[in-house]
Chains A and B, each alone.
Chain A
Amino acid sequence: MKNIKITIILILGIISLNAKAQNTYQQTMGSGMQEWSKGNNIKAIAIFERVSQVEKKEWIPPYYVALVNIFDSFSCKSQTLINQKIIKAEKYISISKQRNANRAEIKCAEGLINTLKIIQNPMENGKKYSKSIINSYTEALELEPKNPRALYLLSQFQINTASFTGAKTDKFYKQLEKAIDLFNKFKSKEAFYPNWGKQQAVQVLKNRDNAKKDK
């Protein structure tokens, strides 16, 4: 009887420890997301990095290390720092890939990294990367035709190039509206699954409308 008791206690103990580990993952990721939403990007990156080296099977933590670095670079002014962030983002994307990451989401992140490179040096890298950016997003859409981020990023990139070349942008804005539709229908597959982009997509539409009003 005593043995049974001990066994039960042990089992309960293990379960509670396990649940605690699960909880630590959830909690820590949660706190990382919170820091990110507050704009504390460096802190968020540090947290995701730590989780990434503990949970060696999860693709989501390294994905966020890369993603926050990418977003952080868009608002960064130092060229040197941006280059370092790009290198770090690329490193974590490849870690995430090794952990069987969702390939469509990875393609989107890769497209963003190359967009950063174009912004860095448009004359030089524009030619070099614009094809591969379009390829990244279209391949993501081939993998997941309903991925809202892929469609949003593709539309945004096409709008930017079209307005640079003076081509018509209407059909790309229609495509963007469809992407927003997809965002509304999007259901997260697991906890902390990538779920960003809607706000940005809506902003692109707003910018157009504001520009129209100004005219």
Chain B
Amino acid sequence: MRNFIIIILMHLVLTSFGQNINGKVLDTKNKAIPGVNVYISGSYSGAMTNINGIFNFKTKKEGIQILIITCIGYKEKQIKCSVKEMNNLEIILEEKINTLNTVTITAGSFSAGDKSKTTALNSLDVVTTAGAAANLVVAFQKLPGTTINPESCKLFIRGGNSYESQTFIDGLRVFKPYSSSPNNIPSRSRYSAMLFKGMNLSTGGYSAEYGQALSGILLLNTNDVEEETKTDISIMTVGLGLGQTIKGKNNSLTFNSSYTNLRPYLKLIPSRYKWSDPYESLGGEAVYRHKTKKGIFKLYTGVSTSSFKLFQEDINYKQPINYSTKEEDIYTNTTYKGEIGNKLILYTGMGFSNNHKTSAITNTIKQQIKEFERNYHLKITLKKIIDENFKIHFGSEYFIEKSNQTLSSNKYSKALSKEIKEQMGSIFLESEIRFFNNTAFRIGIRGEQLKNNKSYLSPRIGLAQKIGETNQISFAYGTFNQKHQKRYQFINNKLANEKSHQYIFNFQHNSRGRILRTEVYYKRYSNLIKYRDINDETSYTNKGKGYSKGIDILWKDSKSIRNLDYMISYSFIDAKRNYKYYPYEVNVPFTAKHNLSISCRYWISSLKTLISTSYSFNSGRPYHNPNKKTFMNETSNAYNDLSLSFSYLISQQTILYLSINNLLGFNNIYSYKYANNRNDIGIYERQNIRPSQKRFIMLGLFITLSKNKKLNQLDTL
């Protein structure tokens, strides 16, 4: 009985007495942190710090124990020592780097989609931008730093030509991002915005991972997962579309097919040109994704064929020229990305592209050009995350490119055939370091070796500093190089790469729902091609040079007015060059000095309608008038466009879409084409380069069929 009492007593003693543990928790600035959870690992003994950062509790534990100190927003700390020593502790907690709050290098880049920090456009914006008609490039033309060249509709970045920008899907280069179109009629991007979760446009200063682009890169990343099995049907005035998504447990498959035929549309609304075979195209895309335990495998394939035949007037000929074009394009890539070791991420990928194009003139000069391109891109990279403040990324790439061109014409008895083969290997190494919570530093280098034994080294640097909670400044410098344009490679393939040096300074203010972004840049071009006679191989040199400088401003606000989301972008570009056949340095013909774009989206809940408008303006582009003695000394009229689109939600599964380009009917003349020879009175005559139709109207019906009827078409709006 005595023993029993002893045990009970012991028990009471043990519970009521014990070692006292106490102390204070401070941050790195010596300020008390309240609400910190302090406890002995594996036991109930613990307490929370009070307003003065003080904690105090008792424990029955003895000997060496682990004290855990944890608080949201701070790095967890553990102290291993004897319980007796856990007295009057002074514990300092370090602030945790929050991925959403960290400083990132934003100079030069806009991201659309995933990353919350630098998002200027999301995939929704891309699809609903008025006038874009789901052409993702048009949406990116609303961003500062770009100049709209409506007759081609490609990306012209900061005084650079369109070939100076490259497009990548899941990290692999797309060799032919635009589908072919007649002269002076805009081409379209081959890829549909809905397949991509993240779209990132960089107008300069980008990472050493990417090369062969003097001006900018557009990165498109396919969706990792699909949420459900569904069928998408679209019926438009210009064609039909059908999509199917099948979702499995760890994998999913998406098909998208589209058929475009402009015949019915051109019957209703006549065009400036006479089309004997209106534009017709059939295309399909498929994405297969498979999630493994630690990674994701993706296979992307896009196939398209297109053809058209039309008569276009030409100042040099009395009768309109009959052009015909047929194109077949296949692009496929496969990638795997996954963790292979402790915080070591492997990425491998292979891309393949095959393109056949035949363009012919069947009257007047009678000629036919057959073009063929086949390209491979192999890539492997490794990323080691040493800790959240230090990352190293390196990798290697290999390109194999082959193109040939055959010209047959009644001018020559034999067909002329030319071929170029290129192989290029590259390596890059880049590391990113963060100091404290507010400074980030990135340094990288890229080396490239070409088949002609020329090699290039391009350093890239980025720096960012946060100022307070919502502002940051960043700076980027880099050198970039690129092989000259293919059409000149056919004549002379021995030249050195063209080069650009870029300096970018960026200020960004980013508060919830509002972004202000200002960027000042200077870009110097060197090694540009220069020739006396375009057809004379020996007259080609690398002596061309130029520069472009300017300022970009972007303001985006989705907060001030309920249901209204608007964006204003302005850029001033001063770009001059002396290259190709130019006699001296002049403003380039593909860049306007002042560029402005305003786009708004407004959701009217009572009408179940999303109204989207956009206005674009530029101050006109330079052109050369051969009747004048000076070179490239005239500027075309200002360009204006107001587009409007409505998306009406008929039911949760159906959307009716109407879009009108150039609503107000501005008479835009993009530029002029001058005759090759003087007329009878000694003047070079000219013709206007104008849109083929004043306005473009598109009406479409989009239907989603899914098992889960509760799903909402609103997501695609």
A contacts, CB < 8 Å to B: 5-6, 9, 12-13, 16-17, 20, 24, 28, 42-43, 45-46, 49-51, 53-54, 79-81, 83-85, 88, 121, 123-124, 126-127, 130-132, 134-135, 138, 158, 161, 163-167
Residues of A within 8 A of B712 (CB): 130-131, 161, 165
Q: Which of B38-46, B78-86, B299-307, B668-676 contacts A (4 or more CB under 8 A)?
A: B38-46
Given A46-B37, A54-B43, A84-B72, A130 and B715 touching (CB < 8 A)? yes
Is B88 in the interface zone, CB < 8 Å from A? no
Determine whether the beta carbon of A51 is less than 8 Å from that of B116.
no
Determine whether the beta carbon of B98 is less than 8 Å from that of A165.
no
Determine whether the beta carbon of B607 is less than 8 Å from that of A85.
no
30 intermolecular pairs with C-beta atoms under 8 Å apart = A12-B7, A13-B11, A17-B11, A42-B48, A43-B48, A46-B46, A46-B47, A49-B37, A49-B70, A50-B37, A50-B46, A79-B512, A80-B73, A80-B100, A80-B469, A81-B72, A85-B72, A88-B72, A124-B116, A127-B122, A134-B708, A134-B711, A135-B228, A138-B708, A161-B714, A164-B714, A165-B712, A166-B605, A166-B649, A167-B608
Determine whether the beta carbon of A127 is less than 8 Å from that of B70.
no
How many residues on B have C-beta within 8 angstroms of the other chain's C-beta atoms? 46
Given A42-B35, A123-B122, A24 and B100 touching (CB < 8 A)? no
Determine whether the beta carbon of B228 is less than 8 Å from that of A46.
no
Cα of A161 to Cα of B606 in the assembled complex, Å: 13
Q: For residue A43, which residue of chain B has the nearest CB?
A: B48
Those of B52-75 within 8 Å (CB) of chain A: 68, 70, 72-73
Is B680 in the interface zone, CB < 8 Å from A? no
A98 → B minimal CB distance (Å): 15
Q: Beyond the given A6-B3, A138-B710, please list 4 additional residue pairs across the A-B interface where CB-CB is below 8 A.
A: A42-B35, A49-B70, A53-B39, A130-B715
Residues of A within 8 A of B116 (CB): 121, 124
Residues of B within 8 A of A121 (CB): 116
B636-677 CB mask vs A (1 if < 8 Å, else 0) is: 000000000000010010000000000000000000000000
B687-717 CB mask vs A (1 if < 8 Å, else 0) is: 0000000000000000000001011101110
Q: For residue B565, which residue of chain A has the nearest CB?
A: A123
Chain B at the A interface: mostly helix, strand, loop or mixed? loop
Q: For residue B48, which residue of chain A has the nearest CB?
A: A46
Q: For residue A85, which residue of chain B has the nearest CB?
A: B72
Determine whether the beta carbon of B608 is less than 8 Å from that of A165.
yes
Residues of A within 8 A of B11 (CB): 13, 16-17, 20
Residues of B within 8 A of A46 (CB): 35, 37, 46-48
Cα of A104 to Cα of B43 in the assembled complex, Å: 30
B115-156 CB mask vs A (1 if < 8 Å, else 0) is: 010010011100000000000000000000000000000000
Is B558 in the interface zone, CB < 8 Å from A? yes
Given A9-B3, A54-B44, A81-B72, A127 and B101 touching (CB < 8 A)? no
Residues of A within 8 A of B565 (CB): 123
Determine whether the beta carbon of A123 is less than 8 Å from that of B3.
no
Residues of A within 8 A of B17 (CB): none
Cα of A84 to Cα of B652 in the assembled complex, Å: 34
Q: For residue B38, which residue of chain A has the nearest CB?
A: A46
B420 → A minimal CB distance (Å): 44
Is B227 in the interface zone, CB < 8 Å from A? yes
Residues of B within 8 A of A5 (CB): 3
B529 → A minimal CB distance (Å): 43
Residues of A within 8 A of B44 (CB): 24, 28, 50-51, 54
Determine whether the beta carbon of B37 is less than 8 Å from that of A83.
no
Is B4 in the interface zone, CB < 8 Å from A? yes
Determine whether the beta carbon of B228 is less than 8 Å from that of A131.
yes
Residues of A within 8 A of B122 (CB): 123-124, 127
Q: For residue A40, which residue of chain B has the nearest CB?
A: B48
Residues of A within 8 A of B68 (CB): 53
A172 → B minimal CB distance (Å): 10
Among B48, B72, B715, contact of A126 (Cβ-Cβ < 8 Å): B715
Cα of A28 to Cα of B39 in the assembled complex, Å: 14
Cα of A84 to Cα of B46 in the assembled complex, Å: 23
Residues of B within 8 A of A12 (CB): 4, 7
Cα of A131 to Cα of B227 in the assembled complex, Å: 7
Residues of A within 8 A of B72 (CB): 81, 84-85, 88
Residues of A within 8 A of B43 (CB): 54
Those of B1-59 within 8 Å (CB) of chain A: 3-4, 7, 11, 35, 37, 39, 41-44, 46-48
Cα of A186 to Cα of B37 in the assembled complex, Å: 34
Residues of B within 8 A of A158 (CB): 710
Cα of A51 to Cα of B45 in the assembled complex, Å: 10
Cα of A20 to Cα of B605 in the assembled complex, Å: 59
Cα of A123 to Cα of B128 in the assembled complex, Å: 13
Residues of B within 8 A of A165 (CB): 605, 608, 649, 652, 712, 714
B648 → A minimal CB distance (Å): 11
Cα of A137 to Cα of B456 in the assembled complex, Å: 56
Given A53-B41, A84-B72, A134-B710, A164 and B124 touching (CB < 8 A)? no
Q: For residue A124, which residue of chain B has the nearest CB?
A: B122
Cα of A159 to Cα of B460 in the assembled complex, Å: 51
Determine whether the beta carbon of B652 is less than 8 Å from that of A167.
yes
Residues of B within 8 A of A9 (CB): 3-4, 7
Among A43, A81, A127, contact of B123 (Cβ-Cβ < 8 Å): A127
Cα of A190 to Cα of B652 in the assembled complex, Å: 41
Q: For residue B649, which residue of chain A has the nearest CB?
A: A165
Please provide the 5 A-B residue pairs with the shortest distance between their CB atoms, ordered closest to farther. A46-B37, A131-B227, A42-B35, A166-B608, A46-B48
Residues of A within 8 A of B708 (CB): 134-135, 138
Residues of A within 8 A of B73 (CB): 80-81, 84
B687 → A minimal CB distance (Å): 45
B593-632 CB mask vs A (1 if < 8 Å, else 0) is: 0000000000001111000000000000000000000000
Cα of A28 to Cα of B45 in the assembled complex, Å: 10
Q: For residue B603, which residue of chain A has the nearest CB?
A: A164
A18 → B minimal CB distance (Å): 12
Q: For residue B608, which residue of chain A has the nearest CB?
A: A166
Cα of A60 to Cα of B709 in the assembled complex, Å: 34
Q: For residue A122, which residue of chain B has the nearest CB?
A: B558
A191 → B minimal CB distance (Å): 17
